[in-house]
A and B are shown apart, each in its own frame.
Chain A
Amino acid sequence: MQGDLTLCGWRVRSALALPDLLPWLGGDSPVDIDISFGAIPTPAEPPLYTLPHSTLWADGRFLLHLEQVGKFWVEKGRRIVLEPAEHADESELRTFLLGSVLGVLCHQRGLLPIHASAVRINGRAILIAGNSGVGKSTLAAALGARGHALVADDITAFDTPTAMLLPAFPMRKLSLDVLDRLALPHQGLIANRPGQPKFHVPAADGFAPAPLPPSAIYILHTDRLLKSCAIDRAAPAMAMALLDRMIYRRAVGMKIQPPPALFLGLSKLARIAPVYRLRRAEDPSLHRLDALAEQVEAHAAVTRPLLAGSGTE
């Protein structure tokens, strides 16, 4: 069995191989998250909330079920039980474990998970938030190619009490066209799901392993009417509305955490880091990717956090 691993700064002991996670170097502290294979618990009482793939019971006990992949039980923010489907391969288990399950884990642990990639620029982290397919990981990778370390890809956890963003794990999900555009090799990469054009790309050499204060939040949109890209500050009320839509696993999260706790996190985040709408032209050929990264880099270099972000109210 592999040694203990690091995820969002937690000590993880996993029966499932997780080659994308860094080893645990934090000394003798107790294990935070235990991942095992086994039979999924079956609560006697009815669930509180049911979605096609998700079931939630009292105390935030959560089950993710995908017929072709398996069942993922997540409990108390510390215990995960996996029951793989017959023909599932390990990489598919990892896709959901480091995706939806991580999101639920954050909610159970009282963190605010944002649907965003985070990149370190000048000692702070910018968030690139947005809906799936809008280009968060792509922009983060283009910034990576310009020397800016990855903090988190796709899911970024904000710790409200300390007002810090937690480094997730050194892996990006990138599609073939982006790998080619950034001249990254795709030999030996594992697909997100078998046959999908999206791959798990190790990023260990460009990863920021320590928590960072947020400096700016960019909500990424594509806009077919634009010729290049535009960055506009969102007024406070709009900033909250935009950010609210970016809560990762929002529907389930609102049932696990008291909604006021989530909104407190959002408002604290938005009070520290200005929220910008980052609208870019559709760019299927990725010809404008470098220019976009350059523009965001230049913007992030001069943007100032609104508060010091030391955790004080």
Chain B
Amino acid sequence: MKRYFWLASYPKSGNTWLRLFLESLSHEGATPDINAMAFSGGHAAVRDEFERLLDIESNDLTDEEITRARPRMYELEAQAANAPLLRKVHDAWELTPAGEPLFPIELTLGAIYLVRDPRDVAVSLAHHMRQSLDQAIERMSNPQAMMSMSKRFIPKQLPQRLTSWSGHVESWLEAPVGRLLLKYEDMLSDPEAHFGAAVRFLGIDADRDKIAAAVEAVAFERLRSEEKARGFVETPPGVEGFFRRGIAGGWRESLTPAQVTRIETDHAAVMRSLNYL
């Protein structure tokens, strides 16, 4: 029986960057195969895994029944595991309709929460979802927002409750679990320090040279050219590129003053607490 590290974030906040860094680190700092992450490729809401572990057809379950069953899925997976489990998460940290944590506390070793300036998230999210900026901003303010929900077909991932951007941040920062908060902007400005903090938090044994090599291996330009050359399995169909700009403050060129005001109003308290305002 083993327990989980959750790599949690609102979408487009650096989660995949961190996972690719960890993947590189598991290969002594070599360039990772972005389409075959073995060490850190796991995701907490994979439909196939849910079905395999619970031996039930997820398509026959309602969203509520799926959410109720997810803690059981983690229990079964943890029982069978022989190494700590690393899982990417986009769900908010919440209780299921049965009143228990979606991510069982007793199975949690810790959570790394990645956060990014919501003005940059809005620009990146709009691109990723092929939506307008206003739609992305609206989504980020919606306390009922979901991921992987469709009224037309059954998506590959299980439905995930995002809540609003602020709600998401608060849910994870208030969760009663050990936690490391990583800001995207810090990961950009001093990658070795902040990726290094993640390495220590996860209890991975790696010296500074190895960390530096892995940081180098997942430098934004390298990921972008890898995607260009080979494609990236996590890029949604029809989207130009998953690794798009990888900068902080790009919103200044993309958002109208009204859009900036809307985001800063919607998320004032949380933005202030994270020094984004």
Contacts and interface: CB of A to CB of B under 8 A. Distances in A.
B35 interface: yes
B60 A192 contact: yes
A11 interface: no
Interface stretch (A20-28, A34-42, A158-166, A244-252): A244-252
A68 interface: yes
B57 interface: yes
Interface of A: 51-54, 66-68, 95-96, 99-100, 131-133, 173, 175-178, 192-198, 222-225, 249-252, 281-284
Interface string B163-174: 000000000000
Contact of B60 (A99, A175, A195, A284): A99
B116 to A, nearest CB: 24
Contacts of B83: none
A173 to B, nearest CB: 8
Contacts of B156: 133, 222
Nearest to A282: B237
Most-contacted residue by chain A among B57, B72, B76 (CB, 10 A): B57
B60 A100 contact: yes
Contacts of A251: 52, 55
A193 B232 CA distance: 34
19 contacts: A51-B54, A51-B56, A51-B76, A52-B56, A54-B56, A68-B65, A99-B57, A100-B60, A133-B47, A193-B61, A193-B62, A196-B59, A197-B154, A198-B59, A198-B154, A225-B231, A282-B237, A284-B153, A284-B237
A131 B48 contact: yes
Contact of B233 (A68, A197, A224, A252): A224
Contact of A52 (B47, B57, B72, B235): B72
A192 B59 contact: yes
A222 B62 CA distance: 24
Most-contacted residue by chain A among B47, B48, B72, B153 (CB, 10 A): B153
B55 A250 contact: yes
Nearest to A227: B231
Contacts of A197: 150-154
B57 A196 contact: no
Contacts of A224: 231-235, 237
A274 to B, nearest CB: 24
A252 B62 contact: no
Interface in B164-215: none
Contacts of A53: 54-56, 69
A223 B233 CA distance: 7
B48 A196 contact: no
A131 B47 contact: yes
B155 interface: yes
B61 to A, nearest CB: 7
Nearest to B149: A197
A61 to B, nearest CB: 16
B100 interface: no
A175 B57 contact: no
A225 B35 CA distance: 9
A95 B60 contact: yes
B58 interface: yes
Given A177-B152, A284-B153, A133 B60 contact: no
Contacts of A176: 151-153
Interface string B89-129: 00000000000000000000000000000000000000000
